[in-house]
A = this chain, B = another copy of it.
């Protein structure tokens, strides 16, 4: 973890143990960090798994294999390596991942494709097989650890550990979700990455778990941006052990399915917000709500165009209600919009309506709102019913310092 903690950091919350999930940590020594860098999570037999992965076509072998393995829907273990992303390392990188899968499958007596591996850190250096092997040996002997320790261990340039939880009533049972994530940019220095893991004791079919995770992803992880750069290793996995003893959920017709889906989405949203709050150099958390678009997807694209605009992000850093830059970002999104129907506000106060600055625009409440840590931007396109919220952070000198003022 980096020394200077984000001003948007929140304390790690108390997270419950999840029946059927046992996290352990060890030190593989991928970098000369004086801390653990390998996380091993053992999952009870019969655990369902679902996942979403980066769309970057130059993805790592971990992502390739994860995408392949997810199809059969079952998981027995997760390994997360921090300090080496193993990306862009060709066949040697793939061999290193396969060796980890073999080692754990042999230990657990399970199929190799039930072992999921993620790696984050420097790229272009094949993950050292000997360090990984010894690290896993150590992890298998280690005592179970807390979620906070696991969250610290998967981190790289993160300035604080990130986790969240939720519960849902499913039939006559209460199921619990605990989740951790790492990431402080779509990419952080040396190709760090967003890796998120959700663990639940709910009994859920793999297909339904995937359906819920994919839907939640579109409204949470796919709605955040720090710097518009997309990692080659981004991964979010959800594991459901079934130990809560609820009647298994296989579709939205089953009791508690809506509650479970809502809890999963809440957990994903919490994790996504935590990543933005650790955005490189972030001083402000920005929520951009776009309404009146021709569709929800169109609203999301307009929101991301605003959230990715360096000029919007620097304006917020400067506490400047520069709605002209928001107009620009709406216009360049390539989505249906009409200059003369566009309205823009900050913190609930309209600055411009239907294509023109408001005659009686009162800048005082807006100026006060922009001085806070949490800023909202409202955009009404006036075209239809499509709606989305996108979250990002401001663009500051801190981002440049982190990403330019060093040598790899």
Contacts and interface: CB of A to CB of B under 8 A. Distances in A.
B403 A310 contact: yes
Contacts of A124: 323-324, 352, 356-357
B325 A88 contact: no
Given A317-B404, A330-B58, A407-B318, A356 B230 contact: no
A58 B342 contact: yes
A342 B87 CA distance: 13
Contact of A229 (B58, B230, B332, B407): B332
A124 to B, nearest CB: 4
Interface stretch (A15-23, A27-35, A170-178, A393-401): A393-401
B229 A329 contact: yes
Interface in A295-316: 308-311, 314-315
Contacts of A245: none
Given A57-B337, A89-B356, A327-B88, A227 B311 contact: yes
Given A57-B331, A229-B309, A342-B58, A404 B396 contact: yes
A315 B403 contact: yes
Interface string A358-384: 000000000000000000000000000
A355 interface: yes
A232 B327 contact: yes
A359 to B, nearest CB: 11
Nearest to A318: B404
Contacts of A331: 56-59, 230, 232
A305 B309 CA distance: 14
A68 B403 CA distance: 45
Contacts of A111: none
Interface string A83-116: 0000111100000000000000000000000000
A405 interface: yes
A131 interface: no
A400 B319 CA distance: 13
Nearest to A281: B400
Contact of A327 (B123, B342, B355): B123
Contacts of A220: none
A192 to B, nearest CB: 10
A231 interface: yes
A318 B229 contact: no
Contacts of A405: 318
A130 interface: no
A178 to B, nearest CB: 30
A232 B405 CA distance: 33
A191 to B, nearest CB: 5
Contacts of A190: 324
A322 interface: yes
Nearest to A308: B228
Given A191-B328, A339-B57, A352-B124, A403 B232 contact: no
Interface of A: 55-59, 87-90, 122-125, 185, 187, 190-191, 227-232, 308-311, 314-315, 317-325, 327-332, 334, 337-340, 342, 352, 355-357, 394-397, 399-401, 403-408
